[in-house]
Amino acid sequence: MKNISNNRATDKLIFALDVQSCKEALSWIDLLSGHVGMFKVGKELFTAFGPKIVDSIKEKNQKIFLDLKFHDIPNTVARAAQAAVKLGVDMFNIHATGGSKMISETVSAVDVCAANLKIKKPVILAVTVLTSLDDHDLNEIGFKKNADELVIDLARMAVCAGASGVVASPCDIYALRNNLGNDFVIVTPGIRAGEKKEKADDQKRTLSAYEAIKAGADYIVVGRPISAAEKPLEACGQIIQEIAEGLAARI
149 in any annotated domain: yes
Instruction: Single out the residue of 46, 45, 111 nearest to residue 78, CA to CA.
Output: 111
Residues 6+ apart with CB under 8 A from 191: 170, 206, 207, 208, 209, 212, 220, 221, 222, 225, 239
Is 1 contained in some domain? no
Question: Does residue 243 contact residue 207 with C-beta atoms inside 8 Å?
Answer: no
pLDDT at 237 over 90: yes
DSSP secondary structure of 211-232: HHHHHT-SEEEE-HHHHTSSSH
Lowest-pLDDT choice from 5-14, 134-143, 169-178: 5-14
Question: Rounded mean pLDDT of 72-86?
Answer: 99
| Contact between 124 and 159 (Cβ < 8 Å) | no
In a domain, 111, yes or no: yes
Q: Identify whether 187 is part of a domain.
A: yes
Q: Is 69 a domain residue?
A: yes
**Domain membership flag for residue 79:** yes
CB 169 within 8 A of CB 157: no
Name the catalytic one among 2, 43, 69, 118. 69
Percent of the chain with pLDDT over 70: 92
For residue 120, indicate whether it is catalytic: no
The pLDDT, as a whole number, for residue 194 is 60
Count of domains in the chain?
A: 1
What is the mean pLDDT of the segment spanning 139-162? 96
Q: Mean per-residue pLDDT for 26-34?
A: 98
Percentage of the chain exceeding pLDDT 90: 86
User: Residues 6 or more apart from 133 whose CB is under 8 A from it?
Assistant: 141, 147
Its domain, for residue 123, covers 6-249
Q: Is 23 helix (H, G, I), strand (E, B) or coil?
A: helix
Rounded Cα–Cα distance for residues 113 and 236 (Å): 35
The rounded mean pLDDT for the chain is: 92
| CATH code, 167 | 3.20.20.70
